Structure 1
């Protein structure tokens, strides 16, 4: 097959990945490459064509997404059988296979930067499913396209969200409890708008917390107070002291299943203690569950404290962040107020997105695709642990980021700068803390499913080399 790959065919072509796509399609049409035949590995073909591996990877992804090729982890990339499809005309891919050499999110591609700022999932088949459903909805949108969204028209989507949330230990819910939002960040803002009263309310957050809590608080002119934490999350005594100092506080924000950025988990004994403090201080508890990909390990605050527990989730870390679909669920008796916050703010999700949510979240193949995506995340985490496990690293196999305490000699800001000079973008601990906080010298590294396993491994090895040569020993 080597003789059919000529760099001359790419001379002057822009962009080159499209020229590679055309080249492969032509060779298949001519019969030079047969159905089931294995294509050269990315790096080998890049060498033969005298282009970058990222260009070949992007071409393979385009052809894989369109069904021309089929990628099998551990085996390679093959010419797909165009007649071999599974139910609903989606490509048949075994559960243990996952396509990761994609070019998403403006974060990899042919550039030299490996962006590990925010988690981006591998495609386990959900991309093809979403494309298919979008096509069907475009031809015949159940909710129509010539009127405002309404609560009745969104009922199928809310019912599908209830189905998708099955297994979440948050107490009984029905479709009327679900308020659809534009992702998890919008859900936080909706809850704040529903709860907060007074001219200058206060919101409590973990001392290292998802920055979106602070940003939402700024939008509603609320003060943010950080509460001390340990490995298990917020310290109950610290919360009680903060409540005494700030009697105007109304909300406690927390992520008990997956702490961002530390990968931590709040055990049940600690959760019960925090509920007791919240009841005494009359705090509403807002639980952000957007980072959990696997099974919940503990009961949620909406179940533990049904009179004050609010629950938030989204599709971003389990299906895709592109759709901006999330939800908020209030405590008993608050669903009406929460619905009004959404309707008064933006009337509701766009009707095509409502139809997509209804079809996607209830689709029988979605759990399988989500499982494949989780397997892909596990592989990235395994690569990172193999490279960096000798350092103070916190990780969980089904969490799409890792938390690294830096060795002596490194400050977080200097380490991030040194990493960026090597083409790797990561977040320092101070990005998750208040401006005046004393933060640990630590960094968060997110999984990016658009970076190939090989490229991700090289990035981890590069970070390991930096860690072994602290700042005072090298020029950064």
Structure 2
């Protein structure tokens, strides 16, 4: 039978998309699937590997391959991904306040003014508009740090800002350091840019500067940059104290490494000075409106050292990662009106309330979290394995993310799951956390598929 493994993966993908296979369903073993389709076992393995690559299934040695809790889905209003089959979505880290649309509507209505519409139809320079740079610089300023508008660059989103920074600092084949447990999107970006990621160990204070220096020494050609999340690390919720930020800054200056500081969750930890304060010539500071406001109404903001500004601006331009004029006008309205700051403050309060539920419902379990974070990291008790727990949660209507998604390098993935807290209504979150507690305190055999 002359059928490519891609087309076989497409068939299973359609079964998932159309509901014939639901979240948590187990796929047949490789040999059984190969026998049914009349293909080699090695081809069946390639089909399953392709499904994993597409994010449709997860697998665990000894237990099987399961349909993921939340598979890729089209965006709905404000960019919120749908959770199939009515799952409670604790996988997507998208904090949106109830009633937020009513706050946005009056401000964004100004986009329909003739003068704003006219401004939104121009071709933007690669550095954005002066008004947008000034608004972004003023918005990001905090005690001890006021970026210059001349150092600001704008991107279509925080992810595109990270992509542009990576592309400006590293060529295909170059090495970039990352935390050993890191934001999954940076792995995909690096793969597409041909950049090799080198994991660096963490401790309770975040990325270890001594380990970064060692990795730099032992890597042929050194590492060209380090991607780091100093505030409310995703997924571990770690926040570097000032002493660690100073130590890391000293390492950057001594080695010449440039840090890409991802601060999209930094607004929830306002008392922490950015890493850019400690090493202004060696840090590209990145923020975004995606978490602060809404994922569909976002512009990425980069504070870039003058010596790197031209290279990053060129990267944004050639990568087509710059914002369009209409999005930039919307961002300026949100920033200047004070609404972005107001929604940010409301979300800080909302995150604290949700963390109170976490402390209550998951008491007694091993958690890594922070009172101001919109996610938590649940370390699973034996004999649970992360992928099996994800599948068991999906069968009970809840989507969470396995630790393997965050592992930066090969080897044993963390036996943990990330629980994103920002999307469901509070009552729904409360019930879902109670269900996760019941699962964690049980065992796989208690919730096995019949």
Cα-Cα RMSD: 2.5
2-side partners of 1:124 and 1:371: how far apart? 14
Q: Any unmatched runs of 5+ in structure 1?
A: 1-101
Partner of residue 258, structure 1? 232
2-side partners of 1:396 and 1:326: how far apart? 25
2-side partners of 1:391 and 1:439: how far apart? 19
Q: Any unmatched runs of 5+ in structure 2?
A: 1-75
Partner of residue 67, structure 1? none
Per-residue CA shift, 1:368-416, capped at 9, x if unaligned?
3332233222222222221102111122232111111111211111111
1:19-418 equivalences under 5 Å are 111-123=85-97, 126-142=100-116, 143-150=118-125, 154-167=129-142, 171-197=145-171, 199-248=172-221, 249-346=223-320, 348-418=322-392
2-side partners of 1:168 and 1:350: how far apart? 31
Q: CA deviation at 1:134?
A: 3.1
2-side partners of 1:381 and 1:300: how far apart? 24
Partner of residue 18, structure 2? none
Per-residue CA shift, 1:169-209, capped at 9, x if unaligned?
5x442222111112111011111122224x52100000001
Partner of residue 417, structure 2? 443
C-alpha contact (below 8 Å) 1:141/1:355 kept by paired residues: no
Moved over 4 A (4+): 102-111
Per-residue CA shift, 1:1-47, capped at 9, x if unaligned?
xxxxxxxxxxxxxxxxxxxxxxxxxxxxxxxxxxxxxxxxxxxxxxx
Q: How many residues align?
A: 372
C-alpha contact (below 8 Å) 1:189/1:216 kept by paired residues: yes
What TM-score, normalized to structure 1? 0.72
Q: CA deviation at 1:109?
A: 8.7
* Bigger radius of gyration: 1
Judged with a 3 Å threshold, the aligned counterparts in structure 2 of structure 1 residues 150 and 167 are, in CA distance, closer, same or farther, namely same
Aligned to 2:294, the other structure's residue is in SS state: coil
Structure in which a larger fraction of residues adopt helix: 2
Q: CA deviation at 1:113?
A: 0.5
2-side partners of 1:288 and 1:417: how far apart? 31
Q: CA deviation at 1:441?
A: 1.1
Judged with a 3 Å threshold, the aligned counterparts in structure 2 of structure 1 residues 268 and 215 are, in CA distance, closer, same or farther, namely same
Partner of residue 42, structure 2? none
